[in-house]
Structure 1
Amino acid sequence: MSAAAHQVATALTPQHALRVHDLSVAYEGKEVLTDTEVSLHRGEWLGLIGPNGSGKSTLLRALVGLVASSGEITLGDGTPPGSTDLALMPQHPELPVGMSVMEYVLLGRTSHLGWFAQESRQDRQIAIDVLRRLHLTSFTDRPVTRLSGGEAQRVVIARALAQQSPILLLDEPTSALDLGHQVEVLELVDELRHEDGLTVVAAMHDLGTAGRYADRLALLDRGRLVAIGDPATVLEPSLLSRVYGHPVHVHDVDGHLVVVPAPRPSRAAREAKRHTVKEIS
């Protein structure tokens, strides 16, 4: 074991689910994720936030080995994660034409099968149980291409859950959903987290929603982790304004943080600014 790996292993406790140490990713010689350090506690929800292109999806993909990376990724016992330890729900999952909901959910069992192995009765039962818990049993034979947006998101979650991994990675799980379906999906994930003790890492676009569901937030900016902590600490107006490049306000509404852009200047102020710019030019 390398010195770095030894340090990581000795820093872990049984309460840890995953440790990311000095993780970096480069595309065509350009580093897009740099020296990332994160420790995940068992059963927690970590929200990944940051502007587009900040490295959120890259981090999730690196955790499951979909992109080449350097650094250390270890489980709570100090060993590297295997194919069944982490399940990823991608942002834009492919829903194959002609595939039923049951067939799609059974794809979550692939990592448990050997070469050329067929799904067993146990695999099918696991898929059936997941569909039942997500209230999708009536969709078993329906083609995945004939699902609504909310139904499709639940089916994609079902596939991830069928893998029975203790760590669930979600990449913008509600990006294509309306407000009602967003709440439905996130409440479902939170319920399953508490029932099954799942550890959740979710890249989330809406900052207020991220603060509402996540125990901790990790703020990324241009591939670097610039802040990590509880939502009240990370959702700080001056920090967010700097990272997002636009002034924002943070309000407490019934105990929940809401992040909004700073108000636009009045029409008169905008007109005066335009006249001033024109005169200077």
Structure 2
Amino acid sequence: MSIPTLTPSSALRIHDLRVAYDGTEVLRGTDLELRTGEWLGLIGPNGSGKSTLLRALVGLVRSTGSVELGNGGPPGPTDLSLMPQSPELPPGMTVVEYVLLGRTAHLGWLRQESAADRRVATDVLRRLGLASFAGRPVLQLSGGEAQRVVIARALAQQSPVLLLDEPTSALDVGHQVEVLELVDELRHEDGLTVVAAMHDLGIAARYSDRLALLDRGSLAAVGAPCDVLQEDLVSRVYGHPVRVHELDGHLVVVPAPRAARHTPGSPVSLADRRPTPTPDQEVS
């Protein structure tokens, strides 16, 4: 794979990024260029390396290779903000206190939040419709509210690149759309670059400008959703046949139909339930 070339529109360049656990390589020679303001969806089966890639970008796991900003320099602590897959909400902490944790990367050693930091947190809560929640304990939030608060913490860091690890994994479909629409709106308003590991392929296609399909730690394909979500490719990587359909202008990925079969105790069709006519009932 050729080395991505930095351009004035580049937000981040990843070259030959590798991660190994106990001598086993789980992320292999990843090369990617992220364009400023784009949404890149990371897709692939469980264990394909999506979370590992995101964690490597922010230095949470040891890696080799290089990660550079659009200006050619390495990312600093305020350049990338990660929303983890299963964020911990500390007991006894209020919403505004939790969001202020996003300002930690901007603080010096043993420094406390300033009035400016508190203004950033307050503004983020207002933009996300959470101002009235500021004093509420985080453990009293519903699932959708908690996800918005976690996003608020990530946005309070004011990083140009936002990394999301399965941001809607614990939400129902209504709250999934609510959270993703919010991220997309903020992306367009603030010029954020979004990299999101996503489980639902149809949802990933709906929001992403490009998809990066990971297969056992390697990039199997990168491109527009319509180019990556090819039935034969997705079926091979996920190890199960799928069908890709277009519905109202959006791609939908579903498992291939199951073969019809009847087992003892299984439901039968109405035709199966219809009694067989006796000879005197038959019509010649």
What letter corresponds to residue 66 of structure 1 in structure 2?
Answer: L
Over the aligned positions, Cα root-mean-square deviation in angstroms equals: 1.3
Matches within 5 A, 1:110-259: 110-259=104-253
What letter corresponds to residue 15 of structure 2 in structure 1?
Answer: H
The separation in 2 between residues aligned to 1:145 and 1:62, in whole angstroms, is 29
Match of 1:20 among 14, 20, 28: 14
In structure 2, the partner of 1:80 is: 74
- Secondary structure at the aligned position of 1:267 is classed as coil
Contact 2:3/2:31 (8 A) holds in 1: no
- Secondary structure at the aligned position of 2:90 is classed as coil
Per-residue Cα deviation, 1:98-139 (whole angstroms, up to 9, x for no partner):
000000000000000000101000000000000000000010
In structure 2, the partner of 1:67 is: 61
The separation in 2 between residues aligned to 1:236 and 1:186, in whole angstroms, is 24
Q: Percent identity?
A: 75
Deviation at 1:147, TM superposition (A): 0.5
Deviation at 1:8, TM superposition (A): 6.5
4+ runs deviating over 4 angstroms: none
Deviation at 1:13, TM superposition (A): 1.1
What letter corresponds to residue 231 of structure 2 in structure 1?
Answer: P
What letter corresponds to residue 113 of structure 2 in structure 1?
Answer: E
What TM-score comes out, normalization by structure 1 length?
Answer: 0.92
Unaligned runs of 5+ in 1: 1-6, 272-281
The separation in 2 between residues aligned to 1:83 and 1:201, in whole angstroms, is 17
Match of 1:56 among 43, 47, 50: 50
Unaligned runs of 5+ in 2: 265-284
Deviation at 1:14, TM superposition (A): 1.1
Number of equivalenced pairs: 263
Per-residue Cα deviation, 1:131-158 (whole angstroms, up to 9, x for no partner):
0000000100111111000000000000
Point out the structure with max Rg over C-alpha.
Answer: 2
- Secondary structure at the aligned position of 1:65 is classed as coil
In structure 1, the partner of 2:90 is: 96
Deviation at 1:267, TM superposition (A): 1.3
Contact 1:160/1:168 (8 A) holds in 2: yes
Per-residue Cα deviation, 1:146-188 (whole angstroms, up to 9, x for no partner):
1000000000000000000000000000000000000000000
The separation in 2 between residues aligned to 1:26 and 1:103, in whole angstroms, is 36
| Structure with a larger share of its residues in helix | 1
